[in-house]
Structure 1
Amino acid sequence: MASPAPSPAAAARNAQLLGLALALLGAAFFATKGIVIKLAMLEQVDAVTTLTWRMIVAVPIFVTVGLLGYRRRLAQRSVGAPPVLDRRSALSALGVGVLGYYVASYLDFSALTYITAQLDRLILLTYPFFVVAFGAIFFKRRITPAMIVSLLVSYGGIALIFWRDFAVEGDNVLLGSALVFGSAIAYAGYQILAKPLIDRMGAQLFTSIAMSAAGPAVVAHFLATHPLSALAVNGHALLLMLTIGTVSTVLPAYCISTAIGLIGSERTAIVGNISPVVTVGLAIGVLGEAFTPWHAAGTVLVLAGVWLFSRKQKPAAGAPQTTIAAQTT
């Protein structure tokens, strides 16, 4: 005898729980990226080679899923409805993909050559502040006192960790921090430009097109700077390359996009704040990175600032808003 179908309230509760679980998993998977890159460097695999392997592994998966989704949407399209994908949107997605998945990713991967995974992740976490800054500059969006306070709190935390690491590592920390700040700025631009495209074509199709553009750009960069033989890595390094393409890229992308569909972007973003905590834990446990009282205080301040920002920020009409549907930089 078949079991009775769950009530609407129970079904909604189950969907919420599933969404929260997927948001947590997506944040945790995404947090492994810096750790895997650091481990690859210990295997003498540099940032550009790791980024290239990431594309080799991830792009075919994203493209396959995107094509299947595109065909499904074509089959469901009613007569007289607007096209699923037009030329202008496709070209825009290609350009935005190069910015987000090539420029931002290259700067972030390169930064990890010089700074800890902890500092890298915390700086990258502040990209929403740059989104707001761009909104104020280009869309006349008002910056509130609460936003300024949250920014000062977060960057106060980054300053604590920066000055402690700078005293130990010197100029490397300055260069690495500059690179990851550049990545955060590029990613903020990507978020603003990607939002209307994702709304128009869906996260699945957009991500497939964006990755399709970034993949060749990354490969071209690799071929211009490395011999093809550099892609030949040892067995342990190959396992890391497969991990960064799947666990650190593909899985978080689909976990997060599914979570957004179940519990909404705001709740998914709040749950996603666990990501730097996971990175810090892995950096200490796996990489053996130092975690002093300065690191603890800085991490708390950064997370507090981001929490204040996400709690106080109110969308303004016509202003750009962030999305984490394709947050795999």
Structure 2
Amino acid sequence: MQTTKKFWSGIAIGVLGIVLFSSKAVMVKLAYNYNVDAISVLLLRMLFSFPFYVVIAILYRNKNNGVEVKKADYKWLLFFGFVGYYLASYFDFVGLTYIKASLERIILFLYPTIVILLNRVFLKQAISKIQAIAIGLTYIGIIIAFSEEVNVSGSEAYLGGFFILLSAITYASYLVGSGWLIPRFGVVKFTAYAMLVSCVCVFIHYGFIGEMDVFGFPWQVYGLGFLIAIFATVIPSFLVSLSIKMISSSNFAIVAGIGPISTIILASIFLNESLTILQIFGALIVIGGIVFMSIKNRQKG
């Protein structure tokens, strides 16, 4: 009974974390209504997140997992913080200037299949028939949804889709490459350190090309930046970690299928976005492919 209660509590926590993460794209699109660029919104996200991750890093600095952390590990942490949280976030925010929030989440949801492909190329891990079917389904779904978006929004959709795909690839690269580092540092400590690296990268980036005074934004932009930082970054990052701990990563991967759906609903409510029937069909194919792969991997495990 206690195990069942813990499992369903873990699912509820995971769903809440995913919905909060999904709200990020919607709030970014709302911020763009005030004529701010991608790097400015990303800067505010990192500025408001930074103190929380500093505190977490300090609290966990002396915690270890019984594994020796070498200097080379810190170098790799810097690299994956740069790739996984800075580049992936920047590409995502730029892509959102061109395409709908709902379509962004559908494309980003490809990252589990990209992880499989990267593992095949760089780690020589075989792709099972189930994985191949799932990958095929998801990319058919993306082609359907994206082709329809080009018809609706025009050629700018290609540029937006390209940046979102780059975001998915860089995030998948981070997941593949950092997998062996996380057990050394621990999930919370590694996440805090990697996020701090990302924050510094964004600060440097803005220092070089920031086109607006950091104190000159409309108050609504600061409010949205704070909400993105706290409710779409810090809080869900720990909710997701807790959920994975309670129900396992394979079960969480299945629950994560709610991500694109929640973004579509939130975008419809707050942005008046709508997807065509064909795009919804494509989205369902993408979600179905990922969930199918996750269920089969869980049964295999």
Same fold (TM over 0.5): yes
Change (3 A) 1:231 1:161: farther
Partner of 2:142: 158
The alignment-based identity, stated in percent, is: 31
Q: Which amino acid aligns with 2:178?
A: A
Residue 284 (structure 1) shift: 1.1
What residue number does 2:242 align with?
258
- 1:179 is matched with 163
RMSD: 2.0
Q: Tell me, yes or no, if the aligned pair for 2:39 and 2:206 is still in contact at 8 Å.
A: yes
State the distance in 2 between where 1:125 and 1:248 align. Answer: 17
Q: 1:241 aligns with which of 218, 225, 237?
A: 225
2:39 matches 1:48: yes
CA distance in 2 between counterparts of 1:295 and 1:116 reads 12
Task: Give the drift of 1:232.
Answer: 2.7
In structure 1, list runs of 5 or more residues that go unmatched: 1-8, 317-329
Q: Does 1:301 align with 2:285?
A: yes
Task: Name the CA distance, whole Å, in 2 between partners of 1:154 and 1:299.
Answer: 9
Any residues of structure 2 matched to 1:68-87 within 5 Å, and which? 68-71=59-62, 73=63, 82-83=67-68, 85-87=69-71
Post-superposition offset of 1:250: 0.4
Letter in 2 for 1:197: L
Shift of 1:315: 11
| Equivalent residue letter for 1:302 | V
Partner Cα distance (1:200, 1:108) in 2: 29
- Tell me the equivalent position of 1:209: 193
* Alignment equivalent of 1:284, drawn from 268, 280, 290: 268
Instruction: Tell me the SS of whatever aligns to 2:99.
Output: coil
How many residues of Structure 1 are paired with residues of Structure 2 in the alignment? Answer: 301
**Structure number with bigger Rg:** 1
Return closer, same or farther for 1:315/1:105 CA change in 2, 3 Å cut-off.
Answer: farther
Tell me by how many angstroms 1:258 deviates: 0.9
Distance 1:143 1:193, change over 3 A: same
Q: Which residue in the other structure is 1:198 paired with?
A: 182
1:141 aligned onto 2:132:
no
For 2:184, give the aligned amino acid: R
SS of the aligned residue for 2:179 comes to helix
Distance 1:99 1:288, change over 3 A: same
Quick one: structure 1 residues 158 and 90, their matched pair in 2 at CA, closer, same or farther if it must change by over 3 Å? same
Q: Secondary structure of the residue that 2:21 maps to in structure 1?
A: helix
Q: 2: CA distance between counterparts of 1:277 and 1:160?
A: 17
Give the Cα separation in 2 of the matches to 1:222 and 1:195.
29
2:266 and 2:67 map into 1 onto residues whose CA distance is: 47
Structure-2 separation of matches of 1:24 and 1:314: 19
Are 2:122 and 1:122 equivalent residues in the alignment?
Answer: no
Any idea what the Cα deviations from partners look like across 1:152-180, whole Å, max 9, x if unmatched? 21112111221111012221001111111
Query: Within 2, Cα distance between the matches of 1:56 and 1:237?
Result: 13
Q: How big is the shift at 1:70? A: 2.5
Deviations 1:195-250 (A, max 9, x none): 11111111111011111211111111111111461453222211100011010100
1:119, 1:158 within 8 Å by CA — same for their partners in 2? no
How many angstroms apart in 2 are the aligned matches of 1:193 and 1:297? 33
| Cα distance in structure 2, aligned partners of 1:176 and 1:231 | 28
Q: Is the 8 A contact 1:89 1:197 kept in 2?
A: yes
Letter in 1 for 2:156: N
Q: CA deviation at 1:23?
A: 0.5
Deviation at 1:305, TM superposition (A): 1.0
- Is residue 62 from structure 1 mapped to residue 62 from structure 2 by the alignment? no
| C-alpha deviation, 1:311, in angstroms | 2.4
2:172 alignment counterpart: 188
SS of corresponding position for 2:98 = coil
Contact 1:122 1:158 in 2 (8 A): yes
Find the aligned partners of 1:131 and 1:20 in 2 and give their Cα distance. 23
Q: 2:22 matched to 1:15?
A: no
Measure, in 1, the Cα distance between the counterparts of 2:154 and 2:9: 45
CA distance in structure 1 between the partners assigned to 2:76 and 2:137 by the alignment = 35
The TM-score with structure 2 as length reference comes to: 0.94
